[in-house]
Amino acid sequence: MYIKVQEVQKNGKIKINQTKQQNNLKKNINIMQQVKKLSTNSKEVKEAIKKHIIDCVYNYDENEFNTIQEAANHLYNEFKRCTEGDGYLRNKSEQDKFSYWLMGLPFHFHYSNFDIETYLNSLGINPEGKTFDNDKSQKLYHYLIYRETIKHK
């Protein structure tokens, strides 16, 4: 099926000659133009990360927490308890230590590269569906969790 494009307007919208077969295509193009790429600092992303922390962190009896403050406090205390006195991490920043600790599979956080990339895409950070380096995706995922944990501990 070929599409006849009349013009591309200054605001980036595409003007199409409509036929019955092309009505759905025009709707899809308009939807794609309305998709907004969210920043990692956006309110929506921060709220999603808070909910993710609450869903993933549990106490010693495997009961989940109700508030972000309780979950973040428990998460941070466990992180400090587990990394205290670790000579390998002596010269690392706290954020690097946290990322290293998360790779040890504490709680119910994502660990596979596919799950992490899928989760980040679901947040709207990457609406174009680009593929990123596994290390970059993992560092971003760990950073977002670290940032909200530090903010709410």
pLDDT of residue 130: 72
Amino acid at 55: D
Q: How many CB atoms lie within 10 A of CB 44?
A: 12
| Letter string b/e over residues 10-41, b meaning 16 or more CB atoms within 10 A of that residue's CB | eeeeeebeeeeebeeebeeeeeeeeeeebeee
What tens digit of pLDDT does each residue of 61-89 get? 888 899 999 999 999 999 999 888 877 77
- Domain match, 63 and 98 both: yes
- Domain match, 27 and 79 both: no
Range of the domain at 9: 5-34
- Domain match, 84 and 115 both: yes
What tens digit of pLDDT does each residue of 97-133 get? 999 999 988 888 999 988 998 898 888 887 666 777 8
- Domain match, 102 and 126 both: yes
- Domain match, 86 and 136 both: yes
- Confidence class for position 35, pLDDT limits 50, 70, 90: very low
Q: Give me the torsion for CA of 142, 147, 148, 153, rounded to 10°.
A: 110
- Domain match, 30 and 50 both: no
